[in-house]
Structure 1
Amino acid sequence: MNRSLQLDRFAIFLSGVCLVHCLVAPIALTLLPIFSLGALVEDIVFHQLMLWIVVPTSLVALFLGCKKHRRWPIALCGAVGIVTLFLVAFLGHDYLTIGAEKAMTTLGGLVLAFSHYLNYRACQSIKCNSSKCTQEHHH
């Protein structure tokens, strides 16, 4: 399978991990208040560490895909998601409420995941230029 498609799948998986973390962490903290003391620090560190994985994966996947299918608005959509995640991870705790921070992180993750989905589909729709090939497949 094409490297871009693998990276798109991985990036969508990472967005899912982030979403689950944002949904489960408040419930876990409510049920286990002993952990709430370090929760804010853990949450900030988690999002910043995830960016070290998400940003390079997303940039490479979107660049490789857009280089093939030439649908650059998909990369722009991904850039909006990345910038949103980056700003929330590094500035959100200073300027947003916890609820707004979670909402913006979720929104940024969904926008980024959607861009990877679009990239994945666009890469799959590329037709082979070979005169002997009548099927659509990955290049």
Structure 2
Amino acid sequence: MLQRAISPIRRRLDRAGIFLSGACAVHCLLSIVLVSGLGLGEELFLSPDIHRIGLVIATLIAAVAIGWGALRHRMAAPFVVAMTGLTFMGGALAVPHGAKEAILTIIGVALVSLGHILNMRHTHSASCAERCKD
């Protein structure tokens, strides 16, 4: 019963993680175009604080949503994929702004997003299997 109440919350967190991953990828691409191509918004788009805060938020959402999911469906793939993505995102903080940072970040957010998608699929499959055996 409690698991059924928690499942919609975790699903919303997975969806939020996917949305934020996409928003981060768009931010990276827009930053390159606006700052490099047009010379606009360097202080806003390239602020290290935006990237640090984004990584903290991504880590928290992934830890809660994918952690709950892993406990529920006992599948390691979503966790491993998402943590690999978070590692790429963390690595992006260690390089100077530019193409390398954008590439590492986009790889990272793509993997985090994939981890959330896998988590939702595995949890849905586990829920279906549980209901079918009753």
**TM above 0.5:** yes
TM-score norm. by structure 2 comes to 0.82
Instruction: Decide which structure has greater helix share.
Output: 2
When normalised by structure 1's length, the TM-score is 0.80
2:70 corresponds to 1:66: yes
Cα distance in 2, alignment partners of residues 59 and 131 from structure 1: 29
1:1-139 matched pairs, under 5 angstroms: 2-29=8-35, 30-31=37-38, 33=39, 35-36=41-42, 38=43, 41-42=46-47, 44-89=48-93, 91-93=94-96, 98-126=98-126, 127=128, 129=130
Larger radius of gyration: 1
The offset of 1:98, in angstroms, is 1.5
2:64 and 2:129 mapped to 1: Cα distance?
Answer: 23
How many Å separate the matches in 2 of 1:34 and 1:111? 29
Identity %: 25
* 130 and 50 in structure 1: CA distance in 2 versus 1, 3 angstrom threshold: closer
Between the two proteins, the alignment pairs up a number of residues equal to 126
Q: In 2 relative to 1, CA 83–128 (structure 1 residues): closer, same or farther, beyond 3 Å?
A: same
Q: Structure 1 stretches of 5 or more lacking a match?
A: 134-139
Residue 35 of structure 1, CA deviation: 3.4
Where does structure 1 differ by over 4 angstroms across 4 or more consecutive aligned residues?
130-133
- Code of the residue aligned with 1:57 in structure 2: it is I
